[in-house]
Amino acid sequence: METITMPKVPIMQPDEVTALGRLIAVASANTPGTSMAQGSTHQSMIVADFLLSWWDSVNCGHFDITSLWAVDATIIADMQIVFGMIGRLRVYPDVLGYEEQFKAILNAWRTQSRDRSV
């Protein structure tokens, strides 16, 4: 009898889920044109760049590593966790169930790449 092996479903660790959730919230909270302070809007843009470079680096990505100089230490810590998770899991965020959140970030921060959004 032939054994059927199911593909392994990537499993995020609790700290990874938490860190990614916080980054999505930061990227989603202060979109261009809001009345939030410029500093927080700039940090939101940097986080959006980081996340979108993971989702679609060819069409959406342009994360400048020196952008880390302009974000709070707590955001950097979350980015470190998510960066490690990306390397460990080797999947895109939509595989992990975050497609809608990433589409919302794309629609908020990228005007030239909206063809990917639905």
Give me the chain's average pLDDT, please. 85
pLDDT tens-place string over residues 64-112:
999 999 999 999 999 999 999 999 999 999 999 999 999 999 998 887 4
Predicted confidence band of residue 7 (pLDDT cuts 50, 70, 90): low
CA distance 111 to 62: 14
**Count of domains for the chain:** 1
Q: Is residue 9 part of a domain?
A: no
Q: Is residue 4 part of a domain?
A: no
Give the model's pLDDT for residue 37: 41
Q: Is residue 88 part of a domain?
A: yes
Q: Is residue 99 part of a domain?
A: yes
Q: Is residue 64 part of a domain?
A: yes
Q: Is residue 35 part of a domain?
A: yes
CA distance 97 to 89: 13
Predicted confidence band of residue 114 (pLDDT cuts 50, 70, 90): very low
pLDDT tens-place string over residues 38-64:
446 899 999 999 999 999 999 887 899
Neighbours of 98 (CB within 10 A): 19
Q: Is the pLDDT of residue 36 over 70?
A: no
CA-to-CA dists, residue 101 to 4, 63, 67, 74, angstroms = 33, 19, 22, 21
Give the model's pLDDT for residue 30: 59
Q: Is residue 71 part of a domain?
A: yes
Q: Is residue 80 part of a domain?
A: yes
